[in-house]
Structure 1
């Protein structure tokens, strides 16, 4: 992994597929990122995928040189535009990671690009991660302005005053044209933005760091220590690693499609050539867990109809938060499993809805029938007719929450790791109750009507999965999909994981 400063040039060697651009804060410099850079460079999953670039701009409390002026945020944002345009030209994806005022610089850059009608040029930026950004200003700087700092006439510091008009206008444009943008156009570009606060920060309090952004988090530390890891297991390291993995998985924004001459929009059907109609299996792909005993876990991929699965003890189904399975005729994993588990007559009539009936019984016994359950809840049912294919159990994971007044679903990303952990908790409990379970098959949670990309779903499953397997390596893990393109994509990602984890053991 190479590190490039503002004045560096890209030369020699093969570029990684992605770059992360770090932007420092007020009265700071790129050296503020050195401790974090050192830890991140030791993580193969990051260093194999990313080059590190560091944007530098002039920011001093005071300058006495009459030939120099302190650049304002608009000027710095324009400089960042040139930096990104020049130094990231060879990369397919870009993530922005900022500290303090650096978050305002990044937002001003995005806002100015939209205002100039250059939204399409932002498409490869797949994540903005802000740490301790004064989105609602800094009360501490407001107090300081009433004392010594006004003497400096610092144009950057003035924009840290709470409710500064220029900052609010920038944020409105970013919220409307970036965060809420449904598609790519000249004046908008969907980019996920995450705002983290320091829990003991008295310069930028958590409410200001969160601002108007919907995706937020809080990490240990004050305004400066929040981005300085104390070691490889620090929460800041885990947070940045997670966000960079999500930037790799984030789908590129699509252009708006012309309206079809139909009553309403429908999701286009998958081309017939991409749908696997017969069972296809790849594996085992042995991936080391990184645990103390150096165990490697066998992973398998199953392509084709889920009802053709065999010799897997537990099959996990992705459900809505009401834990209501899809109807028998639906092509979803849930509908296919419901139909496959049902006891049927010779003519195909449903005699007993095994999975659906047992799931309803579970809901009633837990006082949840007709009510939503917390995302990540997992409920067990018998496998019914699938037991003839050596499937013992179906686990139903609550992932997608229905959006009121629509036919759409929303997925809380945190429900996916919770579902993974709860799946293992339940499987271990059923082992203790006498079932012989050793294999679990996962779907790609949220990648159907939940709207998640395949790689984002896979990465959200992967981290908690490997955490569980490091503690208990007695399982084999399976994934299932009906689409050939997804089957091939997952096969490649598993081989990448195998190589990466092999280097860490």
Structure 2
């Protein structure tokens, strides 16, 4: 049983077989196959039924069936992601709406994403035209709800927008769940404006109404989009519980984001994992939660920087800014007497002819630990990970920068051990790119992990630490480390 499940919901006149091409491509991706179980919800949806003993279920009935399916088959999963096609998006929305209406908003907290492809959020003009011709005799109650501006659909969307998309926290009548609506650029059944509907997160992918969910290979935009949404779903924090007085207008309460910040140090470990594939040589891993300046007894702390190696300001809460402040020599009143990391990093850049210029992604530069020496931290390594996007305040993260930075960290540590005679045996990594770089925590961890295994295969005697200030990321990393250990234990 994997930690997360994808529940696929097909559309009108379709079946779970419509997902076969996408399932095959996703199954070939280890980062997906190792973390997600694939579940396929099926419901009755035929153009015609002549059996007088059988009726075609309406969307309310299908939505209740989806609720039962999720309750029956996902009880052991920590997270659920709904992936739908066409009418399947309306089924998922109706399910969410009816759960809120029944006062079961808290039961939706495990659902961390709804991804809809070609969903007729504003109806289908093509079906409306066809209905005037040969479809009136289908007697299909589901098809009738595809009429543009159908009242039942609009009511469902209003409930979903208010109680799901705009929900600030979770309670009996609301639960925040990210919803993404994708359209097919050539779709004439559900045009892009209808697929987008009123939802704030939208996208357009190549294909018509049916080919939009049929990938043309592992590098197709569809596979890339689904992988991105799955990664975001894994790192998406669980919703906060409604605070007392939350439903009272103008009631003041702490900002929800603050509850996710660890203000005190929390440590898990050691977790021993055989890095070389045997049980004879293991590496010890530790996980630290809380302010990075509270770290102690670690030889090297790595900081994620931009490709200009310009540190964050002292007052910034980032890893870079926090380490810069913690390493600075200060007077009794707190005045900065020596900006240890800033000054040494500037000297390093000038010495390499790079001051004011971007350096290659993955480059790692060393500085002394300054005042952090009192906490038994010997060196701070600065890894160039994030490339500024010209003309904006955004950053781009090149995937190759992360494994390159991990490799260069070990290379530099080995070099400093030999040339400076420093005893270095432990390294602490942040999640590269998971801050302003907007990379998912899971994707960052897996890129670091793969590179670590390569380095530790030759020398597993290093002690490895991870650090984060966010509770949700701390819990996520703890789960990933346990899963890694369990995977290795099962092979022995």
Same fold (TM over 0.5): yes
1:73 aligns with 2:62: no
- Cα 1:358–1:76 change in 2 (3 A) is farther
1:490 aligns with 2:469: no
Provide, for residues 102-139 of structure 1, a one-character-per-residue CA deviation record: whole Å limited to 9, x for no partner.
00011011111212222222233232221121112223
Which of these residues, 183, 189, 197, is aligned with residue 203 of structure 1?
189
1 CA distance for matches of 2:448 and 2:73? 36
Counterpart in the other structure of 1:120: 106
Is the 2:369–2:380 Cα contact (8 Å) retained in structure 1?
no
Counterpart in the other structure of 1:265: 254
SS at structure 2 position matched to 1:134: coil
After the TM superposition, which residues 421-440 of structure 1 pair with which residues of structure 2 at under 5 Å, given as runs? none
Which of these residues, 421, 427, 430, is aligned with residue 443 of structure 1?
430
Provide, for residues 431-471 of structure 1, a one-character-per-residue CA deviation record: whole Å limited to 9, x for no partner.
xxxxx8999965347989x9x9xxx9521424665799999
1 CA distance for matches of 2:441 and 2:74? 26
Counterpart in the other structure of 1:55: 41
- Cα 1:181–1:19 change in 2 (3 A) is same
Per the TM alignment, residue 300 of structure 1 is displaced from its structure 2 partner at its CA by: 6.1
Which of these residues, 402, 420, 444, is aligned with residue 461 of structure 1?
444
Per the TM alignment, residue 180 of structure 1 is displaced from its structure 2 partner at its CA by: 1.5
Which of these residues, 124, 132, 143, is aligned with residue 138 of structure 1?
124
Which of these residues, 26, 37, 57, is aligned with residue 12 of structure 2?
26
Is the 1:342–1:355 Cα contact (8 Å) retained in structure 2?
yes
Length, aligned pairs only: 445
Is the 1:179–1:192 Cα contact (8 Å) retained in structure 2?
yes
Which of these residues, 104, 124, 144, is aligned with residue 158 of structure 1?
144
Which of these residues, 397, 400, 407, is aligned with residue 418 of structure 1?
397
Counterpart in the other structure of 1:275: 265
1 CA distance for matches of 2:444 and 2:48? 49
2 CA distance for matches of 1:229 and 1:80? 26
Which region of structure 1 is more displaced relative to structure 2, 335-344 or 22-31? 335-344
Counterpart in the other structure of 1:479: 466
2 CA distance for matches of 1:149 and 1:69? 17
1:171 aligns with 2:171: no
Counterpart in the other structure of 1:86: 72
Per the TM alignment, residue 25 of structure 1 is displaced from its structure 2 partner at its CA by: 0.3
2 CA distance for matches of 1:204 and 1:220? 14
2 CA distance for matches of 1:479 and 1:21? 32
Is the 1:18–1:49 Cα contact (8 Å) retained in structure 2?
yes
2 CA distance for matches of 1:164 and 1:188? 24
Is the 1:287–1:502 Cα contact (8 Å) retained in structure 2?
no
2 CA distance for matches of 1:326 and 1:264? 28
SS at structure 2 position matched to 1:197: strand
Per the TM alignment, residue 195 of structure 1 is displaced from its structure 2 partner at its CA by: 1.9
2 CA distance for matches of 1:72 and 1:334? 55
- Cα 1:440–1:325 change in 2 (3 A) is farther
Is the 1:323–1:398 Cα contact (8 Å) retained in structure 2?
no
Is the 1:316–1:440 Cα contact (8 Å) retained in structure 2?
no
Per the TM alignment, residue 421 of structure 1 is displaced from its structure 2 partner at its CA by: 6.0
Counterpart in the other structure of 1:222: 208
Is the 1:275–1:483 Cα contact (8 Å) retained in structure 2?
no
Provide, for residues 70-122 of structure 1, a one-character-per-residue CA deviation record: whole Å limited to 9, x for no partner.
32222222222233333434544332221110000110111112122222222
Which region of structure 1 is more displaced relative to structure 2, 150-159 or 298-307? 298-307
Is the 1:71–1:155 Cα contact (8 Å) retained in structure 2?
yes
Q: TM-score, normalised by structure 1?
A: 0.67
Q: TM-score, normalised by structure 2?
A: 0.69
Counterpart in the other structure of 1:7: none
- Cα 1:308–1:76 change in 2 (3 A) is same
- Cα 1:72–1:259 change in 2 (3 A) is closer
Counterpart in the other structure of 2:303: 315
Per the TM alignment, residue 188 of structure 1 is displaced from its structure 2 partner at its CA by: 0.8
Per the TM alignment, residue 186 of structure 1 is displaced from its structure 2 partner at its CA by: 1.6
Which of these residues, 315, 324, 341, is aligned with residue 327 of structure 1?
315
SS at structure 1 position matched to 2:155: helix
Provide, for residues 162-195 of structure 1, a one-character-per-residue CA deviation record: whole Å limited to 9, x for no partner.
3322212211110110122122212111222222
1:35 aligns with 2:17: no
Q: Which runs of 5+ in 1 are unaligned?
A: 1-14, 289-297, 367-376, 400-410, 431-435
Counterpart in the other structure of 1:4: none
2 CA distance for matches of 1:154 and 1:424? 54
Is the 2:260–2:470 Cα contact (8 Å) retained in structure 1?
no
SS at structure 2 position matched to 1:147: coil
Is the 1:195–1:215 Cα contact (8 Å) retained in structure 2?
yes
Q: Which runs of 5+ in 2 are unaligned?
A: 278-282, 350-354, 388-392, 410-414, 418-425
Per the TM alignment, residue 271 of structure 1 is displaced from its structure 2 partner at its CA by: 8.3
- Cα 1:135–1:394 change in 2 (3 A) is same
2 CA distance for matches of 1:287 and 1:223? 48
Per the TM alignment, residue 342 of structure 1 is displaced from its structure 2 partner at its CA by: 2.5
